[in-house]
Structure 1
Amino acid sequence: MTVTPPPRPENLDFLDTIIPYDRANILTYARVLDVVEERAIIDGRDWREASIIILGCDPDRDEPAARRCWDAHVARARWIIGEGLPLFLAGDGRRRGR
């Protein structure tokens, strides 16, 4: 099976706004959270194996970079399902009242 990972932003320091990458990769975030929360959707794989499958980051080539990518996506997924959810659902991705 060939896996086509999502193209990642060059800068993984995500802002407190919804960006087009978020909308295009909402299922990627769900898959990342499934692994982190030890759901069985990806057969209990650890972050290293899941990072290859989900994000196309290979820890065997560059573990620090793969870990940064993985951690950034975990943090972003958690932000989206928490504070970012109203922004995601609003459609334009901008904070209200600022």
Structure 2
Amino acid sequence: MRKPPLDPDVADAAPTDQALTVYDEEHVVTYTRLLQAESEGADWREVARIVLHIDPEREPDRARNAYLSHLKRAKWATEQGRFLRGAGSN
């Protein structure tokens, strides 16, 4: 895996593929930040604004959906070390 960008923009929804995607590789830092924020009890609106670059005041549904889908993907991607095994792993 090549070095991921530090603060990339995100899609409205994270991938749902059963294998890691290029998008996942590019958003490993985003996923890490989401997981850390959740573990610290951060408000999802603050996380959406800072990490996902979506204003939850202007776009509450989009922000919430993006937050939930990316957090779910982050959890999936870290289960059993998927990022450690690399793209294409099941």
- CA deviation vs aligned residue, 1:12-69 (integer Å, no higher than 9, x gap): 352111011111111110110111111xxxxx64110111110101110111110000
Q: Structure 1: 5+ residue runs without aligned partners?
A: 39-43
Letter in 2 for 1:33: L
2:67 match:
70
Q: Structure 2: 5+ residue runs without aligned partners?
A: 1-5
Question: Normalization by structure 1: what TM-score?
Answer: 0.72
Letter in 2 for 1:74: L
1:57 match:
54
Letter in 2 for 1:71: L
Deviating 4+ runs (over 3 angstroms)? 9-13
Q: 1:10 to 1:61 in 2, by over 3 A?
A: closer
CA RMSD of the aligned region, Å?
A: 2.2
Q: Number of residue pairs matched?
A: 85
1:37 match:
39
Q: In the alignment, is the contact (CA less than 8 A) between 1:5 and 1:56 conserved in 2?
A: no
Question: Normalization by structure 2: what TM-score?
Answer: 0.78
C-alpha distance in structure 1 between counterparts of 2:77 and 2:55, whole Å: 25
The structure with more radius of gyration: 1
Q: In the alignment, is the contact (CA less than 8 A) between 2:45 and 2:56 conserved in 1?
A: yes
